[in-house]
Structures are given as C-alpha cells and as structure tokens.
Chain A
Amino acid sequence: MTVLDLSGVDVRFGGNQVLSGVDMQAAAGFTGLIGPNGAGKTTVFNAVTGYVRPTAGQIRIGGQPVPPGGPVPVARLGVRRTFQTPRLVGELDVLSNVLTGLDSELTRGHGLLEFLGISRRARAARSRAVELLGAFGLADAAGEPVANLPLGSQKIVEVARALASRPSLVLLDEPAAGLSAADVDRLVEPLAEIGRADGLAVVVIEHDLEVVSRLCPRVAVLHFGRILTEGPPAQVVAHPDVVTAYLGASVAAVHP
C-alpha cells in the first residue's frame, strides 16, 4: 500500500525552480532517494514534512493531502524525519533526546500527570526509548549529555528519536554521512529490523550506495529537480542517464 504519494510536485524559490513535476511513491519498506548534490532531495523532504509549500502538485500521506500550517500538523499524521546535521538538544542526555520524539504524546493532561510522576504514558515512552537505545547499542550512553557523543552516535540518536513514536512514514536525510564503517553497521542492521517489525515506510536520502543497496529494494534518482528513473539499486546505478547525471556526458560515453 502506498504511504507516500507525490504527483507533479513543483517547488520554486523566487526564480529558482528546485523541483519540477516530481512523481514518487513510497510503500511500507525502504525507498532510496539518490541524486547529485543540489538535485533537490532535501527539498522533497521539506515539501513532504511541511517545511516548504509546493507551488504545484499533490502530496498525499496515507491517502490524505498534506495539511497546511507547517511541520506540526504533518508530524501529527505520523511523519518523522531527520536532518543532514543532527538537530539534538546538546545539554540533555541521550535518553531525554529520544524522549523528545515522544513528548508530543504527553499533551492534554498527560503533561500534568508526568509532572507529578504518575503518568503511565510517560513510563511507556521511557521504556520505548530505552528499548530503542538498546537496539542501536547506545544503552550505555543513555545518561550522557548528547553533546559529549561523537557525531556518528549523535546521528544514530536522531534516527532513534525519529523512530520512537512508531510513525507510519520516516524520512532519513543522509543518515550514514560522516559515519565510520562500524557506526554504519550499528545503524543499518537495527534500522532495517525495526522498519520491518513496525511496518514502517522509510525514505532514505543517501550518497553511500552500499548503504542504499543494503536497505532499499527500490531507489529513485533525482536530478535537477526531476525524477530521472527508479527501480532496484543495481539497475538504477547502471542506467546511462544516472551515470551522466553523476559523472558527466563524456564519462557516460566511455562506460555505456
């Protein structure tokens, strides 16, 4: 079933056409979104999550059109995302940072119950966060201020925060960028497993093609704001238009 459906999406900033007629679908499971720098990948995420308003086209999440009013109403539909540079709260410990992903559920009375230390929902949130940190091998760092963690671990914490509320759609913006090989393993395996267990639709922007092919059975390629092609990673990477997009026309002529 299609969770995310973009049809004919245009995004323009002044005279700068960033996306033109983007058609893209994502179902439960992992979908890759690749393309050269400046292709508009992050803009796709920004359009889906309400950070940017498309100038034309339709974006549907779980069959519903994206509600107006910025990121909050979209996030309430069960959409979570990460950012290229992790946006965490440095002063708070790792566990609390993951909990911020669940805090929107503590409104309307539950905030008061949590303040008094008697909210069942807050306890459930805590155990969910602990469970996620365990899955990503960060249980030992739970009490550590997140600012003390190396960048690789911070990026994993942000992914855990995005997964915490069991969303239906997760958008990960270059989760493996800047990660060591060991960190990549620490990220990819639990991510694949949680994605499967929770039945998530996950869209991954990633330059590391090994990570993409490990996670995503299907990949879409974006170039100059247009979808160039899509399909299984091996097939997409060999596509002549994709080679041209990444390496230029002369190289494509040599490697047909």
Chain B
Amino acid sequence: MTHLPWFSTRRLLGGLIAVVAALLLLGLPGLVNSYQLFLACLVMTMATAGLGLVLIMGWSGQIVLAQAGFMGVGAYGTTSLVALGLPWPLAVLLAGLVAALIGVAIGLPATRLRGFYLAIATLAFAELMLRIFIEAEPITGGIAGLVVTPVVLGNLDVGGSRWYLCLGLAAVTALAVWRIGRSGLGRRLRAVRDADVAVGSLAISATRAKLLAFALSAFIGALAGAAYAQVLTYLTPHIFGLTLLIELLIVAFLGGVSYVGGPFLGAVVVIGLRELLQDIGSWQRLAFGLVLALVVGFLPRGLASLRSRIGAARRRRADTSTATPQARDVTAGVAS
C-alpha cells in the first residue's frame, strides 16, 4: 500500500500549504485591489466550468462542445428567475436542473455517437442554444442584453460578495467532483472510456453512466454560468459563443483534463492570457486557438500530468542505471 503514515513531514508540509492557501483565498478581498479581485472571480468561475469538463471529457472520454451553452443557460436562467422574485440559491439550483435536463436531451442521441461525430453534434446543440439566447428576447433581452442583479452577502460589498460566491461555488464543486472521482461513478466513467468492451460484462450500463456524466457536467456548467453572470453584471448572447468555448477547452486541457486541480491551473493561465492579450483585439481568438492546439498536440494530459511524467522519467533513468524489474516495481510503489 502507498498510504503515507499518519504523521510525516510531507503531510505536515502539505497541511501547512493548504491552510495558508485557504487563508489567502478567504482574505483575498483585503489583500488585492478590486480589479485583481474581479480577475480572481473570473478564475474561479472558469475553473468551476472546467470541473464539469473533467467529468465528461476527462473521465468519461466524451468530446462535448456545449459547455459555453450550459454556462449561458445557468447565467440567463438564474438572472431571469431572480428577476421573477426567487432567491438566488434556489434560482441557481433550478437553472442547474434545467441545464441538466438539456444535457440529458443532448446526451440521449449522443450516446450513440463517438469521437468526432459526437463533437460535431454537441457543437450543433451549442449553436442552437446560442440562437435561442438571441431569439428568446422576453427572457434574455436578445442582443440588447440583460442586466444582472448583484447578490450581496450580509454586510459585504458587491465585490466581496461576488468573490465569496465564486470561491464557494468553485470549492464545493471541486470537492464534489473529487468525491465522484473516487466513487463508483468515477470508476464507471473511466471504465466507459478505457474498457469500453468490458463495461457491459460488469453489469455496468455505459448509456446510464454517460447520461449521468452529461447531466452532471451540464449542471456544473450552469453553476459556473450563474457565477459568471455575477462577475460580468451584463449578459449578451455572444458571450456564450465559440470564444468562451475555446477558452473553456484550454482551461480543461492545459491543466489536465482528468485532474480535479487541472481546471484551476488552466483558468489562471487563460485569465492571465486574456489580460496580456487585451490589446490585440480579435487576434485573441487566434492566440487562444493556437494555445489549445499546442496543448493538445504536445501535452495531451496537461500540466498536472507533468509531475507524474517527470517521476516516471526519473524512475526509468534509475532503472537503466541500477537494477532489475523487481526493483522497478518497488520504486514505483514508493514514489506514488
């Protein structure tokens, strides 16, 4: 077994880093200016949306290009339900359920498609959702846009409330996705991806697992959309178009699409790039496309996989210099 002992310097160090990071995040409104806090909110929002992609693209291996659309459902749904008088948390939940239903509706035909065909089909659904955001003027305000009512928590200011909202959603989602990854559903999804032929013989329904993944990732996308609306304060349909989709793909893949920490890494990079590339206008899209192509081409498992890859390379080197296959198993066990 590779469990660390209950007490070790490594554990202590890890715990210390976690506590310091948590304190920094909780105290962030007092440490940075309001624009930096706004960027941090964006990071958390993008990371939350990316966590949905970890489930469906990372674990179940389905290429689904509709996450920007689900964010739109969450953003518009929450905003218009709040306008109807619903409290924000309930509005988010309802918008999330709507997104999950749409996710299942997209998933139903999609469970018969694979790879490229699935990608194209889901992209078509995303375009359809965009079209609906434009046409459903009474709800979305059409291309003229929709003003978002800011949520205020207790006696915090708007910026602070927004931060704790985004941070809270990201943290809860990350915790939930991490638990799913270690539970039966997480195993089933990975089995659908890697052991396609075998899942049926284990009495696991691949269709059911895929549909659950569609619903959950759409729900998470809608949560992120609700937070995104708070950050942007003003919604227009084209926010939820191709540019956002490509950014989300970078968020998911740059960090590592099968790691829960991956989207956070990816989101920092994407929001950072957005800041750096502000002045090049529409060339931004080209730059993001290029980054995505490079990541998928050279680092398909993302930055988060570098650690294990470096570890593996080190082990290989140790192997060739020292010893036998048995020794390799032992070092592998200790290192991981």
Contacts and interface: CB of A to CB of B under 8 A. Distances in A.
A144 B195 contact: no
A227 B46 CA distance: 61
A99 B184 contact: yes
A139 B2 CA distance: 11
Interface in A146-171: 148, 150, 161, 165
B188 A100 contact: yes
A184 interface: no
Interface residues of B, number: 31
Interface string B186-226: 01101101111110111111000000000000000000000
Query: In the complex, which range does the number of interface residues on chain A fall in?
Result: 35 or more
Interface in A10-42: none
B325 to A, nearest CB: 7
A64 to B, nearest CB: 15
A83 B198 contact: yes
Contacts of A103: 184, 187-188, 202, 204
Nearest to B205: A72
A87 B203 contact: no
Given A144-B2, A144-B332, A104 B185 contact: no
Nearest to B212: A111
B131 to A, nearest CB: 36
A88 B204 contact: no
B165 to A, nearest CB: 24
Given A106-B184, A115-B185, A122-B184, A100 B325 contact: no
B202 A104 contact: yes
A49 B201 contact: yes
Contacts of A101: 202
A119 B226 CA distance: 32
A99 B187 contact: yes
Interface stretch (A73-81, A192-200, A211-219, A240-248): A73-81
Contact of A115 (B180, B203, B329): B180
A90 B196 CA distance: 12
B258 interface: yes
B179 interface: yes
Contacts of A148: 329, 332
Contacts of B194: 87-91
A100 B258 contact: no
B3 interface: yes
A34 to B, nearest CB: 22
Nearest to B328: A148
A80 B204 CA distance: 12
Nearest to A78: B203
Given A89-B191, A104-B204, 11 more contacts: A51-B200, A72-B205, A88-B195, A99-B187, A100-B202, A103-B188, A111-B183, A140-B1, A143-B1, A143-B333, A144-B336
Q: What are the 6 tightest A-B residue pairs by CB atom distance, in nearest-first order?
A: A71-B200, A104-B203, A87-B198, A75-B203, A143-B2, A106-B184
Interface of A: 49-51, 70-72, 75-76, 79-81, 83, 87-92, 96, 99-101, 103-104, 106, 110-111, 114-117, 122, 139-145, 148, 150, 161, 165
Interface of B: 1-3, 176, 179-180, 183-185, 187-188, 190-191, 193-198, 200-205, 258, 325, 329, 332-333, 336
27 contacts: A71-B200, A71-B201, A72-B200, A75-B200, A75-B203, A80-B201, A80-B202, A83-B197, A87-B195, A89-B195, A90-B194, A91-B190, A92-B190, A100-B187, A100-B195, A103-B188, A104-B203, A106-B183, A114-B184, A116-B179, A117-B179, A122-B184, A141-B333, A144-B333, A144-B336, A148-B332, A161-B202
